[in-house]
Amino acid sequence: MLKSSFVGLFEPKPTRRFCISGLNRSSKKWVMAPPPILALELPSETGRVLSIQSHTVQGYVGNKSAVFPLQLLGYDVDPINSVQFSNHTGYPSFKGQVLNGDQLWELIDGLEANDLLFYTHLLTGYIGSISFLNTVLKVVDKLRSINPKLTYVCDPVLGDEGKLYVPQELVLVYREKVVPIASMLTPNQFEAEQLTGLRITSEQDGREACNILHAAGPSKVVITSINIDGNLLLIGSHQKEKGQSQQFKILISKIPAYFTGTGDLMTALLLGWSNKYPENLDKAAELSVSSVQALLARTLNDYTKAGHDCQSSSLEIRLIQSQDDIRNPEIKYKAEKYN
């Protein structure tokens, strides 16, 4: 367990005792002390994030969509890949590996053995098995035993548009075990319905779903996309005191194409900006939505320039080309607070 004296967000800085490199007379070999971990010795003003979700070699989904934006916003990020595939399901075929719970815990043991488990944030996305998800619960306990102030941001990737991506059994685990320990939850409309048992057909239903989720655990809830009467909305809610939540909506322009990795990107940006503006979830959402929409507009424009029919397949987001929109987004999407 780390005993440290971090400035700002962090707890006290760990006292590291290294052997001075020198000659080991018995073996006649040079023994070098390991270098200090600068993310711990000289922490950023923002934080240190452990991100556990999927990874693809080609394409931007999971950790490929989440790590880079957080780094642009100044965070130190360590990714663990729950699954690793050659590409995502938008392609005709894909191959890869799925990490199990024991393998995840082995990685956590390795980090702990070297005093590397001090994180300010945990971010989780797609998880495909109960074994792995139960181990994630153990990881949350472990990280909070080291840093009780850990913020856990959970994107409960269950499905979309009426279809589950994961086994039905995972829904119950999320509902009963994950939601109660999350600090922030970022479901889409279908996932919010799965977690609350409430059919969302109106803005009021969306607000009520947020309240149900608050009652279960997280103080911050953002339903990232809700289709109501042909309109696309984000509904956010911040419960600052028990039973009292500040709620808002953002009307989002529909773009006539399907993109991969946008949910992972959106959750990462919400983590990044809500940490910078902890009392203003609405501003964090404005910045996040504005970044994503600018990136999607660039993606659509670039594919059109290349002569691609944007209705014929899912599009890879232009993440690297949109760095300025991630670092310094122009706020074009404003939050409207509910009374």
User: Using alpha carbons only, how large is the chain's radius of gyration in Å?
Assistant: 21
**Whether residue 141 lies in the annotated active site:** no
Find the helix packing angle between 281-305 and 262-276, rounded to 10°: 140
Q: Which residue among 155, 264, 282, 325 is the active-site one? A: 264
On whether the CB atoms of residues 177 and 136 are closer than 8 A, the answer is no
- Which CA distances in Å does 312 have to 259, 285, 309, 321? 11, 30, 6, 23
Tokens 């999607």 sit on residue: 296
- Provide the annotated active-site residues: 264
